[in-house]
């Protein structure tokens, strides 16, 4: 059976994928940029809009990192405002489970779901670093090994809070004077190693019951967490082979958690460069990569991997001849890519040097090659064909597109690629449902039941 | 400050306090009430648009981290009252883009929330409203919310012995924490200088990091490093408000707020409260700063005094008890209320936060009867004169505390 493709739009982030130096690049903080971006996604009938989050500004060499876009809005607040200027598109926010509390986060998502008419989604992320913790009451006490456990139990607790209202509590019957059907609704009690809370949740059940749950972890633990409790997974694997491997692995985990293949969507992040022809797109893509890796950015990447300051280093010359400084004390703080670098920096540096030698590349050219994350490059026809083939080949269920220009970068995709996917009959011509769960083709929640009622078995099929 | 025509008092400021179906517990049963829509966006945007048609300065939105209760300190289990509410900051964010002038001052509970999160939330509300954001800070003394967070033991306030030294210490701690909280909000809002974003292609720098600042706040309840992840909001400093009924909260207002909501019994009492706040302001070194004192009033408005009284009586009968409030309850006509506001304004109040007993009825009377009455007396604006909430309140755009002079 031909699969329907899901498409989402990632608001350009605070990393070097985003090209702020382009004359077309607009504000990353004014509401109008978010409004335009969201309305473009909705014009393209996208499933949802996606916002990332980071709770401390990144640093390198003990200084605030200044080469990428810096600064972003509060996730919940901007999504609630976007609900006012859109009607259909889903609103997915990344919210950290370490530096928040379940009662408050559950309230904010339930509110967002009410105020958007059922379009809220939560990308659950975890963090443990004391660096970010310095901005919060809680500080940075969480052991690295505990972060998934806290995330898992945080989400379980939030689910209990959302499910504490069943949807039939409010009568609002002016005649009889009964506002509530039952006294003190929303009762909950949760005790575990992380949370010891009880009382009454104070937001009535929202249109979707719970927000759609996203997870982005890539480790074995992260994949299990997603397989157990997420509705969609935001992955890094946008190529055919890597995508299929990830897809098969994660979907293969579902039965262990009593779930079926349709219960979890795999949506890799993907960038794109469109041209009138494939050749023109390739040329534009080269220019974009150079803009993404300025000489200063190239130096910062090299310093991150070598984990040392390199004053006076010439990025147009060769890579450093010595091995990286191996230490737990990383010069770069507050960014996810560092974890990739830190796994085996000596081996990775050797790999970079080998590439330089093979291609006769300067240090900057190597960084451009190894960090360039361009998934789809080509004419609209080529990109539409590629995306369709990847989805039909189970490399993904769709893609979360990451444009490199704010806010207009999504427009060419919506104008040129979406119509081709619609012609192929693999992407909606219009929204058919009201909620994000509808857009994603997810079954209604099985959790809409009273305590004591038998669980509806969903694992059988 | 807004200049007044010679010989006439300055225009007064008007805000409306939104809470559920209105402040009277039986308000949701009125014929024009919309109790089924209390949890929808349309209900709140409709009220905001209504208040904006009345040219009001701003609206506040009540909030709480537990179910509402008729008892100030303890949960109840009533079936005949509105229970359940949406997050106030998000309601404000949802309504801001559909309005152009009115300010939004949602409530945040300082005792249980993170100042870092709330600072960027209000900064973002300021962006999405193009400079119309504020925050009303409220301490959370009830036991319910503490158990909902489980993060800290908070000794419950005991209503029968509030005057005892341990209770007084507890109250003082709550408000000291709120003052620290506001300090963190304000430092974070200033942690980016206005011109920090430079987009200098030659040097590859998006920001001038020398114009971003660690706030390095360390206090009894929390430490916050900063800077904010959100650039300085359009107003520089969104408006901070607090409600107070006694000396301890008056100190918070004087030390930390731009607006204090207070509950005088009469004009003389209003003058006393204003004097106390001014004295506290001076001792906090803020004598030169504008701190507006607003009188809170619960209002039942109608065509005649007898109609207003009859309506209040009908509501009270339905609720099964006479309506009581921490604020003065005004029952009467718009003209009578205008007399009272003018009288209290002369005692030193800059404006009023009106709590409509029932929505939309009393909001309609505020916008369509009271406002024209005040306009006739030269006491209220006839059109929005500024683009930001600070502008409407006559507050300048403040310098950044971290910027080099």
Nearest CA in chain B to A180: B79
d(CA B34, nearest CA chain A) in Å = 9
Nearest CA in chain A to B221: A137
| Domain definitions of chain B by residue range | 13-153+238-392
Cross-chain Cβ contact B224/A55 below 8 Å: no
d(CA B10, nearest CA chain A) in Å = 34
Asked if the model's pLDDT at residue B154 lies above 90, the reply is: no
Number of A/B CB contacts below 8 angstroms equals: 236
Q: What are phi and psi of B363, to 5 degrees?
A: -70, -40
Asked if the model's pLDDT at residue A143 lies above 90, the reply is: no
CA distance A371 to A302: 11
Mean pLDDT of A12-23: 92
Q: Which helix (H) or strand (E) holds A233?
A: strand A232-235
Mutate to test the interface with A, among B48, B117, B144 (most CBs of A within 10 A): B117
Cross-chain Cβ contact B120/A135 below 8 Å: no
d(CA A427, nearest CA chain B) in Å = 30
Q: Chain B residues with CB inside 8 Å of A165's CB?
A: 84
Q: Which of A30, A104, A186 sits opposite B113 (nearest CB)?
A: A104
Q: What angle do CA B239, B244, B249 make, to 5 degrees?
A: 90
Q: What's the sign of the alpha-carbon dihedral B45, B50, B53, B54?
A: negative
Asked if the model's pLDDT at residue B34 lies above 90, the reply is: yes
What confidence category does residue A337 fall into, taking pLDDT thresholds of 50, 70 and 90? low
Of A15-29, A445-459, B1-15, B243-257, where does mean pLDDT reach its minimum?
A445-459
Q: Name, in order, each residue with C-beta under 8 angstroms of A320's C-beta and a sequence gap of 6 or more.
A: A302, A306, A310, A313, A349
Write the burial class of residue B89 (CB in 10 Å: 0-12 exposed, 13-18 middle, 19+ buried).
buried
Beta bridge mates, B293: B260
Q: Name, in order, each residue with C-beta under 8 angstroms of A14's C-beta and a sequence gap of 6 or more.
A: A28, A52, A54, A58, A68, A69, A70, A71, A72
Query: By C-alpha distance, which of B232, B13, B12, B238 is closest to B106?
Result: B238
Q: Chain B residues with CB inside 8 Å of A104's CB?
A: 65, 112-113, 149
Q: What is the topology classification, in CATH, of domain B13-153+238-392?
A: TIM Barrel (3.20.20)
For residues A1 and A404, the model is more confident at A404
Cross-chain Cβ contact A202/B127 below 8 Å: no
Q: What's the sign of the alpha-carbon dihedral B88, B349, B335, B52?
A: negative
DSSP-based three-state secondary structure for A250: helix
Question: Is residue A200 a contact partner of residue A190, using CB atoms and an 8 Å limit?
Answer: no
pLDDT for the residue A372:
74
- Write the DSSP symbol of residue B318: H
Q: Which of A80, A103, A204 sits opposite B39 (nearest CB)?
A: A204
pLDDT for the residue A448:
54
d(CA A386, nearest CA chain B) in Å = 34
Mean pLDDT of B27-36: 97
Q: How far apart are the first and last CA of chain A?
A: 17
Cross-chain Cβ contact B39/A116 below 8 Å: no
Asked if the model's pLDDT at residue B227 lies above 90, the reply is: yes
| Domain definitions of chain A by residue range | 6-166+199-276+374-440, 294-371
Q: Which of B65, B85, B224 sits opposite A103 (nearest CB)?
A: B65
The pTM score is: 0.96
DSSP-based three-state secondary structure for A299: helix
pLDDT for the residue A141:
67
pLDDT tens per residue across span B256-313: 999 999 999 999 999 999 999 999 999 999 999 999 999 999 999 999 999 999 999 9
Q: Chain A residues with CB inside 8 Å of B120's CB?
A: 73-74, 77
For this complex, say whether ipTM is above 0.90: yes
Verify cis geometry, omega within 30 degrees of 0, for the bond prior to B360.
yes
Q: DSSP 3-state helix, strand, coil percentages of chain A (rounded to 5)?
A: 40, 15, 45
> At which residue do the structure tokens 């919310």 appear?
B145
Beta bridge mates, B205: B200
Asked if the model's pLDDT at residue B392 lies above 50, the reply is: yes
Asked if the model's pLDDT at residue A56 lies above 60, the reply is: yes
- Alpha helical stretches, state H, B129-258: 143-149, 165-189, 247-256
Mean pLDDT of B326-342: 98
Share of chain B above pLDDT 70, in %: 98
CA distances from A24 to A10, A404, A406, A412 (A): 18, 11, 8, 13
Mutate to test the interface with B, among A11, A20, A38, A71 (most CBs of B within 10 A): A71
Q: What's the sign of the alpha-carbon dihedral A267, A160, A438, A411?
A: negative
- Domain A6-166+199-276+374-440 coded CATH 3.20.20.30: yes
Q: Which two tokens stand for residue B340?
A: 């009272």
Query: Exposed e or buried b for every residue in B41-79, given b needs 16+ CB within 10 A?
Result: bebbbbbbebbbebbbbbbbbbbbbbbbbeeeeebeebe
CA distance B282 to B260: 15
Q: Which two tokens stand for residue A144?
A: 């690295």
Cross-chain Cβ contact A103/B148 below 8 Å: yes
Q: Which of B39, B44, B224 sits opposite A135 (nearest CB)?
A: B224
């Amino acid at each position: 059976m031909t699969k329907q493709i899901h498409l989402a739009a990632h608001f350009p982030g605070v990393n070097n994928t985003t090209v702020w130096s382009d004359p077309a690049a607009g504000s990353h903080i004014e509401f109008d940029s978010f409004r335009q971006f969201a309305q473009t996604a909705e014009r393209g009938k996208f499933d949802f809009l996606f916002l990332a989050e980071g709770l401390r500004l990144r640093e390198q060499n003990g200084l605030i990192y200044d080469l990428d876009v810096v600064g972003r809005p509060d996730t919940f607040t901007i999504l609630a405002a976007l609900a006012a200027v859109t009607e259909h598109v889903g609103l997915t926010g990344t919210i950290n489970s370490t530096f928040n509390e379940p009662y408050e986060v559950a309230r904010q998502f339930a509110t967002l779901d009410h105020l958007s008419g059922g379009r809220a989604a939560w990308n659950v992320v975890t963090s443990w670093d004391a660096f970010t913790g310095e901005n919060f009451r809680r500080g940075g006490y969480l052991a690295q090994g505990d972060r998934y456990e806290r995330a898992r139990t945080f989400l379980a607790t939030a689910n209990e809070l959302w499910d504490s209202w069943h949807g039939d509590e409010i009568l609002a019957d002016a005649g009889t004077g009964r506002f509530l059907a039952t006294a003190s609704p929303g009762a909950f009690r949760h005790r575990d190693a992380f949370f010891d809370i009880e009382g009454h949740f104070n937001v009535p059940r929202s249109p979707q019951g719970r927000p759609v749950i996203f997870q982005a972890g890539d480790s074995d633990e992260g994949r299990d967490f997603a397989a157990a409790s997420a509705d969609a997974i935001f992955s890094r694997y946008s190529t055919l082979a890597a995508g299929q491997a990830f897809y098969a692995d994660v979907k293969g985990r579902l039965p262990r958690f009593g779930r079926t293949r349709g219960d979890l969507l795999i949506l890799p992040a993907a960038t794109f460069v469109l041209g009138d022809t494939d050749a023109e797109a390739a040329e534009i893509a080269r220019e974009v990569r150079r803009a993404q890796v300025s000489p200063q950015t190239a130096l910062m990447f090299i310093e991150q991997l070598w984990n040392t300051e390199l004053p006076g280093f010439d990025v147009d010359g060769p890579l450093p001849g010595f091995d990286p400084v191996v230490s737990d004390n990383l010069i770069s703080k507050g960014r996810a890519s560092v974890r990739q670098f830190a796994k085996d920096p000596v081996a990775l540096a050797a790999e970079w040097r080998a590439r330089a030698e093979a291609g006769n590349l300067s240090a900057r050219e190597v960084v451009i090659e190894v960090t360039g994350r361009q998934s789809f490059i080509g004419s609209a026809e080529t990109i539409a064909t590629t995306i369709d083939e990847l989805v039909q080949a189970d490399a993904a269920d769709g893609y979360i597109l990451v444009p490199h220009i704010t806010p207009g970068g999504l427009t060419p995709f919506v104008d040129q690629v979406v119509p081709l996917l619609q012609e192929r009959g693999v992407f909606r011509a219009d929204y058919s449902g009201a909620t994000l769960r509808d857009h994603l083709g997810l079954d209604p929640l099985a959790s809409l039941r009273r305590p004591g009622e038998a669980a509806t078995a969903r694992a059988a099929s | 400050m807004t200049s007044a025509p010679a010989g006439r008092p300055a225009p007064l400021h008007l805000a409306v306090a939104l809470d559920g179906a209105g402040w009277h517990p039986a308000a949701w049963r009125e014929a024009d009430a919309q109790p089924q829509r209390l949890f929808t966006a349309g209900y709140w945007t409709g009220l905001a648009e209504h208040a904006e048609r009345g040219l009001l300065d701003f609206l506040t939105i009540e909030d709480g981290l537990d179910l509402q209760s008729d008892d100030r300190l303890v949960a109840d289990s009533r079936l005949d009252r509105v229970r359940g509410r949406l997050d106030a900051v998000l309601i404000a964010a949802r309504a801001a883009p559909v309005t152009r002038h009115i300010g939004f001052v949602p409530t945040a509970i300082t005792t249980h929330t993170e100042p870092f999160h709330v600072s960027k939330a209000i900064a973002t509300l300021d962006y999405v409203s193009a400079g119309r954001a504020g925050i009303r800070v409220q301490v959370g003394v009830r036991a319910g919310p503490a158990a909902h967070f489980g993060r800290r033991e908070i000794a419950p306030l005991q209503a029968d012995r509030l005057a005892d030294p341990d209770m007084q210490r507890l109250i003082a701690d709550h408000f000291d924490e709120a003052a620290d909280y506001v300090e963190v909000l304000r430092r974070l809002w200033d942690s980016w200088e206005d011109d920090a974003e430079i987009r200098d292609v030659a040097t590859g720098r998006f920001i001038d990091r020398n114009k971003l600042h660690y706030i390095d706040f360390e206090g009894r309840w929390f430490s916050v490093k900063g800077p904010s992840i959100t650039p300085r909001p359009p107003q520089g400093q969104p408006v901070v408000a607090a409600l107070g009924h006694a000396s301890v909260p008056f100190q918070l207002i004087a030390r930390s707020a731009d607006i204090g909501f207070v509950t005088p019994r009469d004009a003389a009492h209003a003058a006393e409260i204003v004097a106390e706040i001014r004295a506290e302001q001076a001792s906090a070194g803020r004598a030169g700063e504008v701190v507006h004192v607003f009188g809170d009033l619960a209002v039942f408005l109608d065509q005649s005094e007898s109609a207003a009284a009859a309506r209040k009586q009908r509501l009270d009968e339905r609720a099964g008890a006479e309506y009581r409030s921490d604020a003065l309850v005004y029952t009467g006509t718009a003209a009578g209320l205008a007399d009272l506001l003018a009288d209290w304004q002369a005692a030193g109040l800059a404006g009023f936060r009106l709590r409509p007993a029932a929505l939309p009825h009393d909001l309609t009377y505020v916008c369509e009867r009271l406002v024209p009455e005040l306009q006739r007396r030269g006491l209220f604006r006839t059109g929005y004169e500024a683009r930001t909430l600070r502008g409407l309140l006559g507050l300048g755009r403040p310098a950044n505390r971290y910027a080099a002079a």
